[in-house]
Amino acid sequence: MGTTVVRGRSRRWLKWSIIALTGAAWSLGAMTSWADDDDDRDNDDRAPLTVPKATCGAEDQTEAKAGALQGQVPAPLRMNGFKGFNCNLKLVGQSKGDGASWQHAWFQDRAGHKCAYYDTASTTVGRTHLGTVVLDVTHPAKPIPTAYLSSVSMLDPWESLRTNPRRQLLAAESAKNGAGGPEFDVYDITLDCRYPQLLSSNPMGTPGNGDASALPNGDTLRGHEGAFAPDGLTYYGGDRGVPTKYTALDVANPAHPRLMAVYTLDPGVLAHGLSVSDDGKRAYVTLDTDPGVTASFPSLPATNGVLILDTSDIQARKPNAQFKAISKVVWKDGGHAQHTIPIRVDGKPYLIAVDESGSGGLNGLPGWQEACAAGLTPFSMARIIDIRDETNPKVVSKLMLEVHDPANCNKVLPDLVGLASFTYGSHYCSVDNREDATTLACGYFNSGIRVFDIRNPRRPREIAYYNPAGTTVASPGSNHGAQWRAGGPDWCNAQVHLDVETRSLQTTCQDNGFLALRFTHDVWPFRSSTTPPGRQN
């Protein structure tokens, strides 16, 4: 390994010499991209444990000014009413409504209308409107609710809510409280995305739909999460039926989708989120397990991570098409793998993988303490995986904040007394352009929305964050529920839409609803950043 490092340095020294001789001007992004040389592929021990912190504007209300660690909302701020943090991002528009739930999707129609879609909880008490919210965000500073979708699946689509730009469809599974029913709803958003038109709402995998033979004996579908293939002809679901599985739905005829194929997971492993390659021939699915650190933990094999599946037969619509396993990558420093994003950086293929729990699982304080005692992170984070050799994927970096560092456990666990499950961890991330990614934006629950420069996938760095002020009245459409505290930090957990043209991002947080944020101090976009329609996740 030592020899390899010397060769890598020699090559970089030569490149620097050429630059000095030619007088060429290079950006920091171009310079750091050289660290991605093949010779450096396995030298990840040189990377910092936590991502470098963003450099904020003098007027920003930062974590550092409050004496907080990166990603932290200290206990005194929670008790006295959290006023929020911001660094290089400012709020320009908001639509709180009844609050939000787990997912946020986006679409621009041919007439130029820009629309945001987000789900709300299945609760009915105190609600103004039920179902999935449609917002006209053509002018992000003035978001306008235009419709509330209340078909079976849209009443609580959980994490399955998705749009497909090529087919101009909006779809969701029935996923009430994380394990709904077999229904799958499809809407047309071609003419006016502000007013989706229902095309179908059918139960999948039932005799009446003509595709029950694809299911294991006696099983029914229970929606949880899903994603379109980029061509919009197939919708893949992460199903929470028993046994748990991944499903492929043919939506070539959106008025009559049908179940095509099922991939059943091993006992103890849950299906969760996934993504599909641009050619539709690969699905990157998560293996969701709760490691639950115990005395026997060191001797147990890792099971949480990502599985790469060959979906070529499904894409080609071959008779009796099947999923085929290619490889997997698993880890112990995290749990409940949430979702994936296939990307390219400088033409090289990587995979973003995001957990929703740390090494102690979703067990609250006991799990966090066990993880800390084992020297592992108690909270979830995103990571970047090199998939140039898809038979041997390798984690090359982790987007760990200071709150995730096990060395800081004694500083952050007191913040979370009385809380459980989601606190300082990741949930959903999004990129600017899957084919030429420069930027990753993530919802990190109590740590707010975090934005990272990933132009060098092995050395990501933070460039901005926004953590909204705590609400003093509970939002009835939020799933924050029993974990909500008056004045405490929000749950920011949904996908993010980045927009180069307006130098902004849009997302939802559960208590605060829809948020439109603008970047400040010229930290984004980078010169190479683009946000073409259909190229974001």
**What DSSP letter does each residue of 397-413 carry, written as one string?**
EEE--GGG-GGGHHHHG
Instruction: Give the count of beta carbons closer than 10 Å to the beta carbon of residue 418.
Output: 8
Pick from 21-30, 34-43, 229-238, 453-462: least confident: 21-30
Tell me the helices (H) and strands (E) count for the chain, helix number first.
6, 29
Which two three-digit tokens encode residue 444?
Answer: 């990190």
Spatial separation of the C-alpha atoms in residues 507 and 94, rounded to whole Å = 10
CA distance 505 to 436: 18
DSSP letter, residue 30? H
pTM: 0.91
CA 34 to chain centre: 27
Cα–Cα distances in angstroms (integers) from residue 95 to residues 102, 145, 203, 514, in the given order? 16, 8, 33, 5
Residue 34: the pLDDT is 31
pLDDT tens-digit map of 240-270: 998 899 999 999 999 999 999 999 999 999 9
Mean pLDDT of 362-390: 94
Output the pLDDT for position 162: 98
Q: How many CB atoms lie within 10 A of CB 34?
A: 14
pLDDT at 210: 66
| Residue 176 Ramachandran class (φ > 0 left, ψ -120 to 50 alpha, else beta) | beta
Contact 134, 157 (CB under 8 A): no
In this prediction, residue 148 carries a pLDDT of 98
Share of the chain above pLDDT 70, in %: 89
Which is higher by pLDDT, 294 or 404? 404
Instruction: Note the pLDDT of residue 294.
Output: 67
Which amino acid appears at position 331 of this protein? W
- pLDDT band per the 50, 70, 90 thresholds, residue 27: very low
Report d(CA 321, CA 233) in Å as an integer: 15
Residue at token pair 């999923």: 323
Backbone angles phi, psi at 516, to 5 degrees: -110, 125
> Is the pLDDT reported for residue 167 higher than 90?
yes
Which positions ≥6 away from 459 have C-beta within 8 Å?
32, 35, 47, 397
Question: Three-class SS string for 83-108?
Answer: CCEEECEEEEEEECCCCCCCCEEEEE
